[in-house]
Amino acid sequence: MSLETMTIFSPQLAARFDALVEKYPVRRSALVPMLLYAQDEIGYLSDTVIAEVAERIGITTLDVRNVATYYSMLRFKPAGRFNVQVCTNISCMLRGGYDVLEKFQEELGIGHKGITPDGIFSLEEVECIGACCWAPAIQVNYAFHDDLTPDQVPGIISNYRGSIGAEGKV
Amino acid sequence: MPRLVSHPDEVKIVTRRFGQGAAAIDKYIQLGGYEAVQKCLAQGPEWIINEMKASNLRGRGGAGFPTGLKWSFVPKQSAKPKYVLVNGDESEPGTCKDHLIFLHDPHAIIEGTMIAGLAIGAKLGFIYLRGEYRYLLEIMEKAVADAYAKGYLGKNIFGSDTEFQIITQTGAGAYEVGEESALMESLEGKRGVPRIKPPFPAVVGLYGGPTVINNVETIASVPHVISMGAAAYAAVGSERNGGTRLFGLSGHVERPGVYELPMGYNLKKMIYEVGGGVRGGRGLKAVVPGGSSTPVLLPEEIENLGMDFDQVGKAGSMLGSGGVVVIDDQTCIVEFALRTISFYQHESCGWCIPCREGTDWLKKSLTRFHAGFGTAKDIDNIQYLAENMMGRTFCPLGDAAAMPTLGFVKKFRKEFEDHLNGKPCAFARIEKPGLVEVH
């Protein structure tokens, strides 16, 4: 296929990928970043995403899947628009990480790997996110929120909900 | 934005530019940045490696291997290109120091990478950040672009005929990728499983070429070693442990944060004076000295303990990543052990059977035990399982899971025994959902 006409990615991301595969001594080194950036734009690694990434790198889709299934941030079905990742590892646990997780479960009405019916939020209990000295900490998509208490949770949720404009754009 | 902390006992070397806007290249230059690399360019590889050796700088990722010695292992002549690889996959629970270096001083990482490149004769360096650190990747990418724009990176660095390029790379979520051979696999676009050693990366590394792999904190220390002079840098630390360490104080401590203290700083003082003591005036039950993989220490073991690689090693634990996790006397050690092993079970890459199966069985045993369904035999079994994982895997993740488990069982056997016979755990969160998953 001709990637110029067939790409499922935005022109900006397609251009970025064109540059990315040329950047390394070996084309395949672009694979992990490409998968993550593709997921950021499309929402998850759909069959079409995997097919196009495989084509761009020049490897089989099986090979792409073999690599993609290794990395915990990569997913094969959609998450919510705001993916709330609550760390409960030791440093966060000692300072109330589980209380923060429970509060999110309560407020959103979903559990680990759950997604709200409107598709706006999803929730994950995650391993250490590298914010141990500012625990308990969470990430909403890539944004860190630290030094949390459970009573801050409703505010965080409504801020994200409120950031969606009338056209559904963030 | 992560909070910055300060204490009079700190010796600010690596953190010297924190909070001063040094992510902007002009500010970095104004604060003395990019002078060290130019000095190295003039002095040449042998001088750099000798300085690094004399500085007693040791790897800040956890193993504490002398940096100068590591660099000296790279062959001078090589048919394949040589590489520098900076490990910013910071994922050891209790560790967030590299987070701050990326945020506040990305050019120090670039400068250190360049110096490593000059020392070993590499023309290309990679800076690998864990996938969760996207905002830090963006800061790092901007810093690299700015360094290219100034002509500091490229075909002719600082107008010389020496070439050095830097590529930034994102991971996508994997603790195991912090292991150096798995890191290379990931950078080559593969699953992050470890390689067998030897050959060591210094001989056969990334793309088969000789490769030096250093932690972010190590690399960020390098320009300071050059600027201060090796002798002055070494003098800051303790014997055979040059310089400072970015200690991450977390858990039940009054003032958690990343503090830069001289190597060999007393651990008790670190907790009680620098960190303000145990939160809420409670008693200290235990402390994890260097990230979750390092065996726990009891209050009586930290009295006269200097925090450097050798002294913590002698005390039966490891300095590791410098992540000091303080545990108060209201904490259930069985739960803490369970949460620790759950992490390693989740992160085991599955390549080596003792690690894959061992972490899984340990998690299952501890889960059952903590839920109140343990037997006396379980305690011995947990110890037996952990002992049989030690030293039987390609990479240190198996050991990283077994070592803390052994520490908990050996030092807190009584607390394990208290969980038996339906005796309720005084501190447990057994009722809480999420943690206890009996399979």
Contact list, B347 vs chain A (CB under 8 Å)? 127
Question: Which residue in the set A35, A134, A147 is minimally distant from B172, CB to CB?
Answer: A35
Complex ipTM, two decimals? 0.95
Q: Do B131 and A90 touch (CB under 8 A)?
A: no
Q: Which of A98, A112, A132 sits opposite B429 (nearest CB)?
A: A98
pLDDT in tens, A143-168: 999 999 999 999 999 999 999 876 66
Min Cα distance B51 → chain A (Å) is 31
Inter-chain touch A26–B207, beta carbons under 8 Å: yes
Q: What is the pTM of this model?
A: 0.96
Distances (CA, A) of B341 to A136, A151, B77, B358, B365: 19, 29, 44, 10, 10
A-chain residues within 8 Å CB-CB of B175?
127-128
Domain count, chain A: 2
Every domain of chain B and the residues it spans? 25-236, 244-328, 333-418
Within-domain flag for A170: no
**A151 in the same domain as A112:** yes
Strands A138-140 and A121-126: unpaired
Q: How far off is chain B from A11, nearest CA to CA, in Å?
A: 20
Question: What would the pLDDT profile of B10-61 be if each residue is shown by its tens digit?
Answer: 999 999 999 999 999 999 999 999 999 999 999 999 999 999 999 999 999 9
Q: Are residues A90 and A124 in the same domain?
A: yes
Instruction: Considering only the beta carbons, identify the residue of B3, B189, B346 that sits closest to A31.
Output: B189
Q: Tell me how long chain A is.
A: 170
| Class at the top of the CATH hierarchy for domain B333-418 | mainly alpha
**Do A35 and A64 have their domain in common?**
yes
Please answer yes or no on whether A29 and B187 come within 8 Å at the CB atom: yes
> Which residue among A17, A43, A68 closes a domain?
A68
Query: Which one of B174, B188, B207 has the shortest CB-CB distance to A72?
Result: B174
Q: What is the pLDDT of residues A37-84, one digit of tens each?
A: 999 999 999 999 999 999 999 999 999 999 999 999 999 999 999 999
Q: What is the CATH number of the domain that holds A39?
A: 1.10.10
Q: Cβ–Cβ of B347/A127 closer than 8 Å?
A: yes
Chain B residues inside the 8 Å CB shell of A91:
93-94, 250-251, 323, 325
- With 60 as the cut, is the pLDDT of residue B280 above it? yes
Last residue of a domain, one of A13, A37, A68: A68
Write out pLDDT tens, residues B179-230. Answer: 999 999 999 999 999 999 999 999 999 999 999 999 999 999 999 999 999 9
B-chain residues within 8 Å CB-CB of A66?
191
The pLDDT confidence band at residue A26, using thresholds 50, 70 and 90, is very high
Closest residue to B256, CB basis, from A23, A71, A133 = A133
Q: Is residue A64 part of a domain?
A: yes
Q: Has residue A59 been placed in a domain? A: yes
Closest Cα in chain A, distance from residue B230 (Å)? 31
Separation in Å, CA of B417 to nearest CA in chain A: 22
> Are A66 and B327 a contacting pair at CB < 8 A?
no
My answer on whether A135 and A98 are in the same domain is yes
Per-residue pLDDT, B438: 39
Chain A residues with CB-CB distance to B270 below 8 A:
none
Domain identity same for A123 and A152: yes
Mean pLDDT of A21-33: 97
Give the pLDDT band of residue B426 (cuts 50, 70, 90). low
Q: How far is CA B107 from the centre of its chain?
A: 20
Check whether residue A89 and residue A157 sit in a common domain: yes
Nearest residue in B to A91, CA atom? B251
What per-residue confidence (pLDDT) applies to B142?
98
Which among B167, B190, B248 has the least Cβ separation from residue A132? Answer: B248
Residue B422 — pLDDT band, cuts 50, 70, 90? Answer: low
A26 contacts in B (CB within 8 Å)? 188-189, 207
pLDDT of residue B373: 84
B172/A73 Cβ within 8 A: yes
B244-328 — its CATH code? 3.10.20.600
Q: Are B345 and A114 in contact (CB under 8 A)?
A: no
Q: Which of A148-157, B68-77, B381-390, B421-430 is predicted with the least confidence, judged by mean pLDDT? A: B421-430
Percent of chain B with pLDDT over 90: 92
Structural domain harbouring A124: 82-162
Cβ-based contacts of A89 with chain B (< 8 Å): 93, 292, 339, 343
| Contact assignment for A134 to B96 by CB distance below 8 Å | yes
| pLDDT at residue B434 in the model | 41
* Beta-carbon pairs below 8 A across chains A and B: 167
What is the 3-state secondary structure of chain B? CCCCCCCCCCCCCCCCCCCCCCCCHHHHHHCCCCHHHHHHHHHCHHHHHHHHHHHCCECCCCCCCEHHHHHHCCCCCCCCCCEEEEEECCCCCCCCHHHHHHHHCHHHHHHHHHHHHHHHCCCEEEEEECCCCHHHHHHHHHHHHHHHHCCCCECCHHHCCCCEEEEEEECCCCHHHHCHHHHHHHHCCCCCCCCCCCCCCCCCCHHHCCEEEEEHHHHHHHHHHHHHCHHHHHHHCECCECCEEEEEEEECECCCEEEEEECCEEHHHHHHHHCCCEHHHCCEEEEECCCCCCCCECHHHCCCCEECHHHHHHCCCCCCCCEEEEEECCCCHHHHHHHHHHHHHHHCCCCCHHHHHHHHHHHHHHHHHHHHHCCHHHHHHHHHHHHHHCCCCCCCHHHHHHHHHHHHHHHCHHHHHHCCCCCCCCCCCCCCCCCCCCC
Model confidence pLDDT, tens digit, residues A89-138: 999 999 999 999 999 999 999 999 999 999 999 999 999 999 999 999 99
Cα separation of B101 and B249, whole Å? 16
Q: Which of A26, A36, A146 has the CB atom closest to B188's CB atom?
A: A26
Do A57 and A123 belong together in one domain?
Answer: no
Identify the CATH number of the domain in which residue A150 sits. 3.40.30.10
The residue type found at B263 is: M
Q: In chain B, which residues have their Cβ closer than 8 Å to the Cβ of A110?
A: none
Alpha-carbon distance B314 to B317, whole Å?
A: 7
Please tell me the CATH superfamily of domain B25-236, with its number. NADH-ubiquinone oxidoreductase 51kDa subunit (3.40.50.11540)
Q: Tell which of A19, A45, A68 closes a domain.
A: A68
Of B92, B93, B173, the CB nearest to A72: B173
DSSP letter at A113 equals T
Tokens of B420: 């038996």
Contacts of B259 in chain A (CB under 8 A): none
Q: Assess whether A54 and A91 both reside in one domain.
A: no
Chain B residues touching A96 at Cβ < 8 A: none
